[in-house]
């Protein structure tokens, strides 16, 4: 197959996508309205190879990439629709969009204020250090994606409002911070999508991370949707080989390179070029792991997950996380009750062999940490959710079971109340949540306040 170039349609071009011409005008108008508020971007590969146009609008990949009316509240939708109908000015439309953004919880889980690391008294806004052993890095060249997902929790990165964004281009700040933090074993490149970067930019970061003084950094993770939204990145793009060589150098220098592939539906893995990309990435010695949120309209069916995990194991991909849709952006359209999330996870896990049961979840990435719903049961006559932290700001909470009153409507942590007449969860009591830093490798002065 020849080289396909990355042809992208953004919101102003939504009307020029040929396949949309067959849809009713009302639906096309609704897409225009929503795309004025939430990011829209789709490439030719997703349109031609992944979406099944005979099944639109129900097609899961269409739902994953094209704006849907239910993503906005009726009031917000009607407001934006009336502006478009009367051909309001660009400035007026933009101002209305910004006003709606503020209602959509742009920075869930306290990301912006609670996780920003400091180096020599300066905040480093292009990084997040929430969990002791893992640093998130947002390279400035990687703050868009090959296509945008409708459910995306990083949507403020893409709506052109700089005050809602974080990004960094500074290799010295990154390596300086890592050098001062021997407790960090994992660096996670994230975005946006770090794989939209040119290979030479990415290689620059990688080579800096391989310096001898950063020996404590064992694992380099790359969070990316490119494996399924633009597999050409690893096969036919002009710098595909250079990108793979950067992975290979890191592996050969002794790092574990984990390609954290975001895959929402098995259909995304079902093309020849995606299979080639998987093989080429695995040939570098990198391990591909997969994660995705559970979403209404896209993958809210145990059969989709069990088939996806089986397929991934067959292709050499390790299932890693099933997430609960976060409380941000178009949440209203995609969210599911926690009890339903748990049922889907349990049913999917029951249908696969142990090699697929490496997927943990359903997990909520909330302010105190990643909380997994382990089950629904009855203890001493009370129906409860059994919960545990998979990851926590306070490392001492990890893996400890705790309980919440069963609630059939709850969709997020904030809806839950402690069970058994308790008045707080373990992460809410200052005395007990205090971590003592007894690890000899921790430099207490360097650890963000919430761990001290």
Ligand X SMILES: *Cc1c(COP(=O)(O)O)cnc(C)c1O
Footprint of ligand SF4 on this chain (CB under 6 A)?
145, 148-149, 152, 154, 191-193, 225, 262
Q: Is 192 left (phi over 0), alpha (psi -120 to 50) or beta?
A: left
Size of the site for ligand X (CB under 6 A): 10
By beta-carbon proximity to ligand SF4, the closer residue of 191 and 319 is 191
- Scanning 125-133, 139-147, 193-201, 275-283 for contacts with ligand X by CB under 6 A, the matching segment is 125-133
Q: Which of ligand SF4, ligand X, none does residue 137 bind to, with CB < 5 to 8 Å depending on kind? A: none
- 281 touching ligand X, by CB under 6 A: no
- 202 touching ligand X, by CB under 6 A: no
Q: Is 295 within 8 Å of 304 (Cβ atoms)?
A: no
3-state secondary structure of 240: helix
- 136 touching ligand X, by CB under 6 A: yes
- 128 touching ligand X, by CB under 6 A: yes
Q: Sheet holding 360-366: strands in order across?
A: 127-131, 134-137, 186-189, 219-224, 256-262, 287-294, 317-324, 360-366, 369-379, 382-392, 401-405
By beta-carbon proximity to ligand SF4, the closer residue of 225 and 255 is 225
Q: Is 260 within 8 Å of 296 (Cβ atoms)?
A: no
- Indicate the angle between helix axes 240-252 and 272-283, nearest 10 degrees: 30
For the CB of residue 373, give the shortest distance to ligand SF4 in the complex, in Å.
Answer: 22
By beta-carbon proximity to ligand SF4, the closer residue of 191 and 368 is 191
Torsions phi, psi of 53, nearest 5?
Answer: -65, -15
Q: How do the residues of the chain divide into helix, strand and coil, expressed in percent and rounded to 5?
A: 45, 20, 35
Binders of ligand X among residues 324 to 383 (CB under 6 A) are 365, 370
By beta-carbon proximity to ligand SF4, the closer residue of 262 and 280 is 262
Q: Which of ligand X, ligand SF4, none does residue 88 bind to, with CB < 5 to 8 Å depending on kind? A: none
CA 57 to chain CA mean position, Å: 24
For the CB of residue 103, give the shortest distance to ligand X in the complex, in Å.
Answer: 24
For the CB of residue 129, give the shortest distance to ligand X in the complex, in Å.
Answer: 8
What is the secondary structure of 384-431 as a DSSP string?
EEEEEEEEESSGGGBT-EEEEE--TT--SGGG--BSTT-SS-GGG-HH
Q: Which of 134, 271, 276, 351 binds ligand X (CB under 6 A)?
A: 134
Q: Which of ligand SF4, ligand X, none does residue 154 bind to, with CB < 5 to 8 Å depending on kind? A: ligand SF4
By beta-carbon proximity to ligand X, the closer residue of 43 and 190 is 190
Q: Alpha-carbon distance 319 to 349, whole Å?
A: 11
Q: Which of 62, 131, 177, 425 binds ligand X (CB under 6 A)?
A: 131
Q: Which of ligand SF4, ligand X, none does residue 136 bind to, with CB < 5 to 8 Å depending on kind? A: ligand X
Q: Alpha-carbon distance 22 to 128, whole Å?
A: 44
Give residues with Cβ within 8 angstroms of 195, minimum separation 6: 142, 146, 202, 222, 224, 226, 230, 233, 243
Q: Which of ligand SF4, ligand X, none does residue 134 bind to, with CB < 5 to 8 Å depending on kind? A: ligand X
CA 343 to chain CA mean position, Å: 22
3-state secondary structure of 344: helix
Q: Which of ligand X, ligand SF4, none does residue 59 bind to, with CB < 5 to 8 Å depending on kind? A: none
Q: Which of ligand X, ligand SF4, none does residue 291 bind to, with CB < 5 to 8 Å depending on kind? A: none
By beta-carbon proximity to ligand SF4, the closer residue of 151 and 177 is 151
Structure tokens at 262: 């975001």
By beta-carbon proximity to ligand X, the closer residue of 131 and 138 is 131
The residue ranges that bind ligand X (CB under 6 A) are 128, 130-131, 134, 136, 188, 365, 370, 390-391
């Amino acid at each position: 197959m020849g080289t396909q170039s990355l042809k992208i349609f953004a919101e102003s071009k939504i009307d020029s996508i040929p396949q949309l011409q067959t849809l009713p005008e009302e639906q096309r108008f609704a897409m225009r309205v929503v795309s004025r508020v939430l990011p829209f971007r789709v490439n030719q590969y997703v349109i031609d190879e992944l979406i099944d146009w005979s099944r639109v609008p129900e097609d899961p990949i269409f739902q994953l990439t094209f704006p849907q009316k239910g993503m906005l509240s009726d009031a917000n939708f009607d407001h934006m629709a009336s502006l478009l109908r009367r051909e309001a000015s660009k400035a007026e439309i933009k101002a209305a969009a910004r006003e709606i953004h503020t209602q959509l919880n742009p920075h869930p889980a306290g990301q912006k204020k609670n996780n920003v690391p400091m180096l020599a008294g300066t905040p480093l806004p292009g990084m997040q250090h929430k969990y002791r052993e893992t640093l998130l890095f947002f390279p400035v060249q990687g703050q868009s994606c090959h296509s945008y997902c409708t459910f995306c929790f990083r949507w403020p990165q893409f709506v052109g409002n700089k005050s809602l964004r974080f990004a960094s281009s500074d290799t010295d700040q990154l390596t300086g911070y890592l050098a001062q933090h021997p407790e960090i074993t994992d660096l996670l490149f994230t975005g946006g999508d770090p794989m939209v970067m040119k290979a030479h930019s990415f290689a620059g970061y990688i080579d800096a991370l391989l310096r001898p003084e950063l020996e404590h950094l064992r694992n380099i993770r790359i969070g990316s949707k490119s494996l399924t939204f633009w597999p050409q990145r690893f096969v036919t793009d002009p710098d595909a080989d250079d990108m793979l060589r950067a992975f290979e150098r890191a592996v050969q220098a002794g790092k574990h390179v984990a390609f954290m592939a975001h895959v929402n539906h098995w259909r995304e893995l079902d093309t020849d070029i995606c299979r080639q990309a998987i093989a080429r990435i695995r040939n570098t010695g990198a391990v591909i792991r997969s994660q995705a949120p559970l979403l209404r309209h896209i993958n809210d069916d145990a059969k989709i997950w069990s088939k996806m995990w089986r397929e991934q194991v067959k292709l050499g991909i390790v299932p890693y996380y099933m997430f609960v849709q976060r409380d941000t952006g178009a949440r209203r359209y995609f969210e599911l009750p926690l009890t339903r999330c748990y049922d889907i996870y349990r049913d999917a896990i029951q249908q696969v062999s142990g090699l697929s049961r490496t997927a943990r979840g359903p997990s909520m990435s909330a302010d105190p940490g990643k909380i997994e719903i382990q089950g629904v049961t009855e203890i001493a006559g009370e129906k409860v959710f059994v919960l545990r932290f998979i990851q926590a700001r306070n490392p001492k909470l990890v893996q400890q079971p705790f309980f919440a009153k069963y609630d059939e409507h709850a969709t997020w942590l904030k809806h839950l109340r402690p069970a058994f007449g308790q008045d707080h969860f373990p992460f809410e009591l200052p005395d007990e949540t205090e971590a003592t830093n007894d690890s000899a490798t921790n430099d207490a002065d360097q650890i963000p306040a919430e761990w001290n």
